[in-house]
Amino acid sequence: MSEGPVAAIERILDELEDADDVLRAAVAALVTDHEVVWAGIAFLEDGALTLGPAAGTPDDARRSRVAVVYEGTLVGELWVDGSPDRALLEQVASRIAPQVLIGWDTGGEAWQP
C-alpha cells in the first residue's frame, strides 16, 4: 500500500467531523490504492463484529484483518482485501480508532450503513 491513501486519510480526519463521514471517506480512500480492492470497517457490538462502511469489490480470499483499538479496548476491525502493507493498515486502524468508537457506541440504535 502506498503512502497516498494514508495521506488522504489524514486529510479526511482534518476536514471532516462526523464519524460516519470520516469512516466512509476512509474506506473509499483505501480502495484508491492499487493494492486494495475492497475495504470495510467492522464494529464490535455485543461481542460480535458487524460490518459498517465499506467500499470496493470484496475478495474474501485475500482479506486482511487489523484490530482497531481505542485506549486499550478493541472497538472493531479494519478489513482489507488485496495485498496491502500490514504496517500501514495498522497505522490507519490507529488513526481511525476514535471514529470507530463513536460509530460503535450508538447508544442502542441500530447501525444504518
pLDDT of residue 92: 94
99 touches 23 (CB < 8 A): yes
Q: What is the pLDDT of residues 54-105, one digit of tens each?
A: 999 999 999 999 999 999 999 999 999 999 899 999 999 999 999 998 754 4
| Comparison of pLDDT for 6 and 14, the residue scoring more | 14
Domain range summary for the chain, segments of one domain joined by +:
3-104
Tens digits of residue pLDDT in 31-49: 998 899 999 999 998 889 9
Q: Are strands 36-45 and 63-70 parallel, antiparallel or unpaired?
A: unpaired
* CA pair distance 56, 72, nearest whole angstrom: 30
CB atoms within 10 A of CB 1: 21
Rg, C-alpha atoms of the chain: 13
Cβ-based neighbour number of residue 36 at 10 Å: 24
Would you give the DSSP letter of residue 31? T
The reply to whether CATH 3.30.450.40 applies to domain 3-104 is yes
Of 110, 66, 67, residue with least CA distance to 84: 66
Q: Where are the beta strands (DSSP E) in the chain?
A: 36-45, 48-56, 63-70, 73-82
Say what angle helices 86-104 and 19-30 make with each other, to 10 degrees. Answer: 160
